[in-house]
Structure 1
Amino acid sequence: MRRAMSAAPVLRSPLPAWPQYDDGERAGLTRALEQGQWWRMGGGEVDAFEDEFARYHGADHGLAVTNGTHALELALQVLGVGPGSEVIVPAFTFISSSQAAQRLGAVAVPVDIDPVTYNIDPVAAAAAVGPRTRAIMPVHIAGEVADMDALGKISADTGVPLLQDAAHAHGARWQGRRIGELDSVAAFSFQNGKLMTAGEGGAVLFPEAGLREEAFLRHSCGRPRTDRFYFHRTSGSNFRLNEFSAAVLRAQLARLDGQIDTREKRWPLLSGLLAEIDGVVPQGRDTRCDRKPHYMAMFRIPGLVEQQRNELVDRLVAAGLPAFAAFRVIYRSDGFWETGAPDVSVDDLARRCPNAEAVAADGIWLHHRTLLGTEKQIHEIAEIIAWALTESRSGR
Structure 2
Amino acid sequence: MHLKAPQKLEFPAWPQFDSTEREALLRTLDSGRWWRITGDEVVSFEREFAQAHGARHALAVTTGTHALELVLEVMGAGPGAEVIVPAFTFISSSQAAQRLGAVVVPVDVDPDTYCVDPAAVRAAITERTRAIMPVHMAGQLADMDALRALSAETGVPLLQDAAHAHGARWRGEPLGALGSIAAFSFQNGKLMTAGEGGAVLLPDGDQHEEAFLRHACGRPLADRAYHHRTAGSNFRMNEFSAALLRAQLGRLQQQTDVRERHWPVLARLLAEAPGVVPQGTDPRCDRNPHYMAMFQVPGIGEERRARLVDALVERGVPAFAGFRAIYRTAAFWERSAPDTTVDALARACPVTEALSSDCVWLHHRVLLGTEEQMPLVAEAVADALEEV
Common topology (TM > 0.5):
yes
Q: In the alignment, which of 154, 157, 182 is matched to residue 153 of structure 2? A: 157
The answer to whether the aligner puts 1:211 opposite 2:218 as a matched pair is no
Matches within 5 A, 1:63-74: 63-74=59-70
Q: Which residue is 1:251 aligned to? A: 247
The 4+ residue runs of structure 1 with deviation greater than 2 A are 4-9
> What is the CA–CA distance in structure 2 between the aligned matches of 1:99 and 1:9, rounded to whole Å?
40
C-alpha RMSD of matched pairs (Å): 0.9
Superposed displacement of residue 101, structure 1: 0.3
Verify the 8 A CA contact 2:109 2:352 in the aligned structure 1: yes
Deviation at 1:191, TM superposition (A): 0.1
User: In 2, Cα distance between the equivalents of 1:305 and 1:47?
Assistant: 47
Matching residue within 19, 23, 28 for 2:15: 19
2:223 matches 1:223 = no
Mapped partners of 2:140, 2:241: distance in 1: 27
Q: 2:234 aligns with which of 231, 238, 249?
A: 238
Gaps of 5+ in 1: none
Residue identity opposite 2:118 in structure 1: P
Q: Tell me what 1:369 maps to.
A: 365
Hey, what's the Cα distance between the residues in 2 that align with 1:162 and 1:375?
Answer: 37
Distance between the aligned counterparts of 2:160 and 2:337, measured in 1?
A: 21
Alignment coverage as a number of residue pairs: 388
Map 1:44-83 to 2 at 5 A: 44-83=40-79
Q: What is the aligned partner in structure 2 of residue 202 from structure 1?
A: 198
CA contact (8 A) 1:11 1:380 kept: no
Task: Give me the whole-angstrom Cα distance separating, in 2, the residues matched to 1:181 and 1:11.
Answer: 43
* Matched position secondary structure for 1:100: helix
Partner of 1:389: 385
* 1:292 aligned residue (288, 292, 295): 288
Q: Indicate which of 4, 7, 17 corresponds to 2:4.
A: 7
* Conserved 8 A contact 2:2-2:387: no
CA contact (8 A) 1:137 1:165 kept: yes
> Aligned letter for 1:268?
P
Distance in 2, matches of 1:250 and 1:197, equals: 10
Pick one of 317, 320, 323 that aligns with 1:321. 317
Q: Is the 8 A contact 1:8 1:387 kept in 2?
A: no
The match for 1:301 is 297
- State the Cα deviation string for residues 282-334 of structure 1 (Å, max 9, x = none): 00001100010000000000011111111111111122111000000000000
Is 1:179 aligned to residue 178 of structure 2?
no
Amino acid across the alignment from 1:141: M
1:60-118 CA-to-partner distances (Å, cap 9, x unmatched) read 10000000000000011111111100000000000000000000000000000000000
For residue 137 of structure 1, the aligned residue among 129, 133, 137 is: 133
Which runs of no fewer than 5 residues in structure 2 stay unpaired?
A: none
Write out aligned runs for 1:119-134 (5 A): 119-134=115-130
Structure 2 SS opposite 1:375: coil
Kindly indicate whether the alpha-carbon contact (under 8 Å) linking 2:8 and 2:314 is maintained by their aligned counterparts in 1.
no
Deviation at 1:8, TM superposition (A): 4.4
**Residues of 2 paired with 1:303 and 1:107: CA distance?**
32
Note the C-alpha offset of 1:6: 5.3
1:178 Cα offset (Å) = 0.4
| Contact 1:11 1:377 (C-alpha < 8 Å) held by counterparts | no
Task: Verify the 8 A CA contact 1:9 1:380 in the aligned structure 2.
Answer: no
Structure 1 CA distance, aligned partners of 2:139 and 2:316? 24
Structure 1: distance between partners of 2:221 and 2:27: 23
Q: Distance in 1 between matches of 2:124 and 2:101?
A: 19
Contact 1:99 1:336 in 2 (8 A): yes
Residue 32 (1) aligns with residue 42 (2): no
